Chains A and B, each alone.
Chain A
Amino acid sequence: MSELRKRLSSWDAAIIVLTVLVLVIASLAVDNFGTSRNFTFLVLDLLPIILVALPMTFIIVTGEIDLSVASTLGLTSSLMGWFWNHNFSIETIIPLCVLIGAVAGVVNGFLVTGLGLPSLAVTIGTLALYRGLALVVLGDSAVADFPWNYTGWVTGTLGGGSVPNVLILMLALAVVFGVVLHATPVGRSLYAIGANAQAAHFSGIRVARTKFWLYVVSGAVAGLVGVLWTLRYSSARADNGAGLELAVVAAVLLGGVSIFGGKGSLPGVLAGVVLLAALQNALRLEDVSGQALNIVTGALLVLSVLLPNIITAVRGNWHRRKLRQSSKEKTAARFV
């Protein structure tokens, strides 16, 4: 019984169950949801959010946040267009863009760990800064003529079948991040930092250095997503991915990661992302506007923190009442 209750109260388990339920119901009830064509679209919609959510999970587990990811994505996207216009080869552009993303992460990491500034404020600042630089690079124009073999690879499927090419990339990265977080000392140290940074420091974990590298990884991944985003829509624009940071943070928190750090799991986050994307996809097939769906996204986000709190409070009450009752019985027994 207690084992069952423990499982039920674990939010990431609940969200995984909920996600599977939504997927099953959607493929039964919504026309065209289960088709392989729609599956490809679903995966392509998931791709940017999942990839950015992987390092974001790490960062939030350590109790920090990175709101600049979508702007880094926009910056690399517009730089990609700029390089392409200046006749760089695509083979140079792609690693260069990932590198630039990493540099954007270095700036965040330095401001947060080197100067000890609050990450929320810093990354709100770089959110504006990187998006602004993206606008400076490309203005409101777009670059579209990327080589067909690259854009085709991103939107294409493995051997023309029903498995999208990017799914392989996505799964590979998810496995790498999952193994690092859940099966290595580095992963454990992230939880330690999030639970109590000072204690982690005193037990020999290099807190600042770890956080710094997390921001670098986050920037590099955002840079990679900028490349993939540009190739998918075959359009380099300064406003690519605007607002994505909110969707990513929403998905990570929905997946059971605590905003205070120290808690959460990668399977939960993956379920959170899939849940949001599947809901959006299914409702779009049912002709519900994506903007109206924001109500569901927002409500889920608030509930993901509110519900566990309510459960804890109710259980605490119940526990206290039981204690009071048993102590009353004891006193009564003494007097009898």
Chain B
Amino acid sequence: MTQLAAPPANTPAPARRRNGLLKTRELGIVLALALLVAYTAIDNPRFLSAQSIRDNLLNTAILAVMAAGQAVVVITRNIDLSVGSVLGLSAFTVATMMSENPDLPMIAAIAVGVLVGAVCGLVNGVLVRFGKVPALVVTLGTLYMYRGITYSWAGGSQVNADELPGHFLNFANDDLLGVPWLVLIAVVVVGGVSLMMRNYRVGRELYAMGSSPPAAELAGIRVARNLLGAFLLSGALAGLAGVLFAARFGTVDASAGTSYELNVVAAVVVGGVAVFGGSGTVWGAGLGALLLTVISSALAVLDINQFWQQAIVGALIILAICADRLVAVRIARSLRKRDAHV
């Protein structure tokens, strides 16, 4: 924030300044996270034990994977509310498949889950782009439809942990060099998507589409392809999250992932991705997911009524939007000032 107050005379190009601003935006989350962890750890040092850190990271993994996809969609000035239902459909598909064919390798489960999610995402994208239906309406509709499909398929039945093969369930607990697979997958996903959005042409095009959709079209960006890609990615990652969900919890019924969309959108917004598109980062959204998870476990450790958790999430969302607004107003003001000097 202090960067903003600096006199405009010796400022670098606006693009770089905005970049610096965004960095402070994510710095805010890191600081909040550090404060929270420090306070909780002083109250109860076991909060920093290896087991506690491991649990927090495991709990973040599923949310972070979904938040990465959602961030990409929100950056293009759209929204994907169907992710919770996609997770449910994918989790139930994979759990059913694994219980019937226990010999299938883990990679097959992941492939099927991602595929189910990708198809769901593609349907969303096609309806948004070619049906010219707003994303809010489409994904609200498919939120119902995908959940309805899962319910009419599953009915009241559920897949229990004892029906699932051991290697599938162990996946959630197994480590690679001390890091749980789930966490590793989340880090790779968030890192990979961040890199794509930051350094690759398609990523910058997605930002451009979110900043100004008509301008992006006029600039010759392949808007249709990119938009379909964004929704496909969000769906595929929700599908992947479904596989992770089934492996971690073992018991899957038709209601798996109900109202997860709220947490995912919360993580993205708290992570500094503006709902009007064009700004924010994927790793910020990942940090948002981490912050939300740590808050809920800190409440348990600090022995605060667990019921406060959702209220705090709500307050954080509003705080985050206010902060974004403040930053936007300041940018506008400093840009105006700079123009006045010239």
Contacts and interface: CB of A to CB of B under 8 A. Distances in A.
Are these two chains actual partners, yes or no?
yes
B145 A299 contact: yes
A175 B51 CA distance: 61
B115 to A, nearest CB: 21
A289 B151 contact: yes
Contacts of A291: 147-148, 151-152, 254
B275 interface: yes
Contacts, number: 148
Interface residues of A, number: 48
B321 A121 contact: yes
Contacts of B142: 298, 302
A140 B306 CA distance: 11
B140 A136 contact: no
A126 B269 CA distance: 13
A292 B148 contact: yes
Nearest to A243: B259
Given A115-B322, A124-B262, A291-B147, A133 B140 contact: no
Contacts of A250: 140-141, 144
A9 B181 CA distance: 54
Interface stretch (B184-192, B215-223, B227-235, B309-317): B309-317
Main secondary structure of the interface of B (DSSP, over half): helix
Interface string A91-114: 000000000000000000001000
Most chain B beta carbons < 10 A, residue from A115, A131, A298: A298
Interface in A213-270: 238, 242-243, 246, 249-250, 253, 259-260
Most chain A beta carbons < 10 A, residue from B132, B148, B308: B148
A127 interface: yes
B20 interface: no
Given A128-B266, A305-B137, A306-B131, A136 B152 contact: no
B127 interface: yes
Given A131-B310, A132-B312, A289-B151, A301 B318 contact: no
Interface of B: 79, 127, 131-134, 136-138, 140-149, 151-152, 155, 254, 259, 262, 265-266, 269, 275-276, 305, 307-315, 317-318, 321-322, 325
22 contacts: A120-B275, A121-B269, A125-B318, A125-B321, A126-B318, A128-B266, A242-B259, A246-B143, A246-B144, A253-B137, A289-B152, A289-B155, A291-B147, A291-B151, A291-B254, A294-B145, A294-B147, A298-B140, A298-B144, A301-B141, A302-B141, A305-B131
